[in-house]
Amino acid sequence: MFIMLQSFIEIKPLDIKEKTLKNGLKVYVIEEHSSPVVSVQVWYKVGSKNEVVGITGSAHLLEHMMFRGTKEIKDFSQIIDELGGMDNAFTSFDETAYWCEIPSSAVEKVLYMEADRMRNITFDGFDEERNVVIEERRWRTENDQRGALWEALFSTIFWAHPYGKPVIGWRSDLENVNLEKIKQFYETYYAPNNAYLIVVGDVKAEEVFKIAENYFGKYESKEIPKFYTTEPKQRGPRRTEIKKEGFATYIAVAYRVPKASSEYSPAVSLIADILGGGKTSKLYKSIVYEKQLASSISAFYYGLKDEGLLIIFATLQQGKDINELEKAINEEIENLRKNKVSEEELIRAKNNQLADLIYSRESVVRLGFQLGEALINTDNPNYINEYPKLIQKVSKQDIEKIINEYINDDNKTTVIVHPIPPSDIQAYIEGLKKASEIRR
């Protein structure tokens, strides 16, 4: 029996209320009254790309310092815990974001705390926190095969743009950066006009706006340094192979594609889904099931503010040849180009993407993340309402255009990590466990 798939998933538009304070702070509220919880998030428009030579890792190190307290608030996370909530933060190339999930009764308290640490952290315990970050780098990058792969991948792709520097920073910079440099970074970029305040959950927008005005409105705006570095066009395939202690062989193949705000980013996301979005994808069926060359393989679109990447990541099956796996990946890419994408594959990918959006909106935290990412990449809060429609509009012709223009050898970078047997297996395993336990 033949069943025609249809793209039928509809996503109800979100009612996003917004207000810009006189000092430039943009406040966004999504009211969601199904349960008495709220996510408060502050997204600063500063990440590792804003660092200069010698202070790489400053954005992430500063993220850690933001939890050390102010004169008024001694331990941010402890207070959140006492309120019955949870909190964390993350630093990326373009942004640093702080988030929590709390009872709705605690919103004003948390907004006061976020406003306080926007301008008033004490920097107590700097040396201790720096050592924590160095250890984090040690276990998550230097002693981790996959961490080493991602670091090598981005440094191979980006020669001019700071996306080529690791978010966590180079070890030598972390060991030598002084407190004054971190304070200067904080004073330069942590300002109301360089941040988005996002509140999602069981709140009233007008009440949030009044509280934000009361606590954040007293701060003055600042002149934020303009970022202008761009990555030149890639003019041929690039390749890096490294050896790292471990037991597996990994390969990543990346293509430079349009950035997150591009009209073509939905099409790139769908291509990634068709190629490697689960166990029914082209790559998984061919390379894992049929040829049994990899134990796992996936593809995803990494859309950033200034650039975009379509990345294929695979783990070599034990006993197999990495050259055969790489050849098989390249053959699947060529098959995609020659045989093109079917209407059925495109519809299935659209439904997968739309379903993922729906599931992610069931959490106030993840819904806040969707809005924050849209703001960082496009400065348009309504993009999260526009995106489902853009996904639906993608045609087979759009897919073919992206494949022909971007998915080619001139845009390709390949990185392979070969294993070196650990000299002390027990210590290596303990290190992996330690890396998984690092919270921030």
Catalytic residue numbers, as ranges:
63
- Sign for the CA dihedral angle at 439, 301, 226, 48 comes to positive
Residue of 280, 371, 276, 380 whose CA lies nearest to 329 = 276
CA atoms of 103 and 63, how far apart (whole Å): 24
* Encoded tokens for 325: 């796996």
Residue pair 132/188 in contact by the 8 Å Cβ criterion: no
Amino acid at 394: V
> Tokens at residue 205, please?
């927008």
SS3 sequence of the chain: CCCCCCCCCCCCCCCEEEEECCCCCEEEEEECCCCCEEEEEEEECCCHHHCCCCCCCHHHHHHHHCCCCECCCCCHHHHHHHCCCEEEEEECCCCEEEEEEEEHHHHHHHHHHHHHHHHCECCCCHHHHHHHHHHHHHHHHHCCHHHHHHHHHHHHHCCCCHHHCCCCCCHHHHHHCCHHHHHHHHHHHCCHHHEEEEEEECCCHHHHHHHHHHHHCCCCCCCCCCCCCCCCCCCCCEEEEEEEECCCCEEEEEEEECCCCCCCHHHHHHHHHHHHCCCCCHHHHHHHHHCCCEEEEEEEEEECCCCEEEEEEEEECCCCCHHHHHHHHHHHHHHHHHHCCCHHHHHHHHHHHHHHHHHHCCCHHHHHHHHHHHHHHHCCCCHHHHHHHHHHHCCHHHHHHHHHHHCCHHHEEEEEEEEECCCCHHHHHHHHHHHHHCCC
Sheet strand arrangement including 195-201: 16-20, 26-31, 195-201, 37-44, 96-103, 86-91
